[in-house]
Amino acid sequence: MENLMTQNTNQKKNYDFEFFGKGSEYFAIMIVNWLLTLVTLGLYYPWARAKRLRYVYGQTALNNEHFHFAGTGKEMFRGFIKIILFYIAVMISYLVLLKVVKLPLLAILFLYLAFFAIIPFAIHGSFRYRMSRTSYRGIRFGYRGNRNEIVKKFFKWVFFTIITLGIYSAWLQMNIRKYTHQNIRYGDVEFSNNANGGDWLLLNLKGYFLTIITLGIYSFWWQSEIFAYYIDNMRMTKGEQRIKCSSTATGGGFFELLIVNFLITAFTLGFGKAWADMRTQKFIFDNVKMEGDINIDEIHQTEDEYTNAFGEDAMDFFEIDLA
């Protein structure tokens, strides 16, 4: 077994992202998902979700090789059942506190805390599952974050956010991002993220005020700065080799993307959303540039298989959105 190209290890490599998804194909998947979900009175939902994710991942290619999402409806269905059980347990405890112990204040506090406490678990579970089920050229992604660590950190950052009357939330967001990203692996490639709360706060304050002053026009440029901040801070390393990511998106680009998406969706009574979603994905991958010298022909499998989908559905169930 010999690698086809193993020379030039220190030379700059070409990385070319492409997104091939077509609105018509995505729309067909959505309709079939809808049909099967309807016929099964909603039970098909996790399978539908798996089909959708599989299409989006599969249509994303780097140097002409497609990504792959291996998650199945069955795994996500199990995750969904766990969420339901958690929900029922919380509601029962709440009702016991309220009706039997008769401590209404404590009951409400418990309810809020329970649903709040699930967030770091959901983040952890979701990363763990999503990454482990994603692969490229047969090499799995993985997430090595420690659950107890992120739970502790999460509450610490939330505490800081509360005592700074919300100002620290910029750090909360970026710290979570940094922690999760630096624990992502692709085979023996390690990810990292240089984001920091201070820059993030300034970027958003500037965006907010300029958007107001320009009566909303600046919002597209704000959006492009947010996107650039997410992408520019991503790094990958493999031993001495590294890759740096950068955004090539412009405010004008976002303007065109969002306005056309809006028109497509509005004039088709929402049916055009499939096309709008595909345009967005294409825009994202067209505007991510990677530069560096990691040879993507030389990555080795390091991550274990993992099939617990608890977080995957928790994120969906509680409508938590990971940017």
- Tell me: does residue 68 bind another protein (CB under 8 A): yes
Residue closer to another protein, measured from CB, 112 or 271: 271
> How far apart are CB 106 and another protein at their closest, in Å?
24
Please select the residue that binds another protein; options are 31, 89, 101, 163, rule is CB under 8 A: 31
- CA-CA distances (angstroms) from residue 137 to 187, 216, 296? 10, 43, 9
- Tell me: does residue 308 bind another protein (CB under 8 A): no
3-state SS, residue 160: helix
- Tell me: does residue 58 bind another protein (CB under 8 A): yes
Instruction: Specify the amino acid at residue 230.
Output: Y
- CB of 178 closer than 8 Å to CB of 193: yes
3-state SS, residue 237: strand
Site string for another protein, 165-204 (x = CB under 8 A): ----------------------x-----------------
Please select the residue that binds another protein; options are 99, 104, 108, 138, rule is CB under 8 A: 138
Q: Which of 301, 302, 198, 180 is nearest to 234 (CA)?
A: 180
Report how far Cα 219 is from the mean position of its chain's Cα atoms.
Answer: 22
- Tell me: does residue 16 bind another protein (CB under 8 A): no
- Tell me: does residue 4 bind another protein (CB under 8 A): yes
> How far apart are CB 203 and another protein at their closest, in Å?
34
Q: How many residues bind another protein (CB under 8 A)?
A: 43
Residue closer to another protein, measured from CB, 21 or 120: 21
Instruction: Find all residues with CB under 8 Å of 133, minimum gap 6, and list them.
Output: 69, 70, 71, 75, 306, 307
The residue ranges of DSSP E strands in 103-198, in sequence order, are 134-136, 139-143, 184-186, 189-193
- Tell me: does residue 265 bind another protein (CB under 8 A): no
Please select the residue that binds another protein; options are 53, 123, 139, 243, rule is CB under 8 A: 139
Residue in this structure with the two tokens 């204040």, named with its chain if needed: 105
Q: Are strands 139-143 and 184-186 parallel, antiparallel or unpaired?
A: antiparallel
- Which residue ranges make up the site for another protein (CB under 8 A)? 1-4, 6, 20, 24, 27-29, 31-38, 41-42, 45, 47, 51, 54, 58-59, 66, 68, 70, 135-140, 187, 296-301, 305
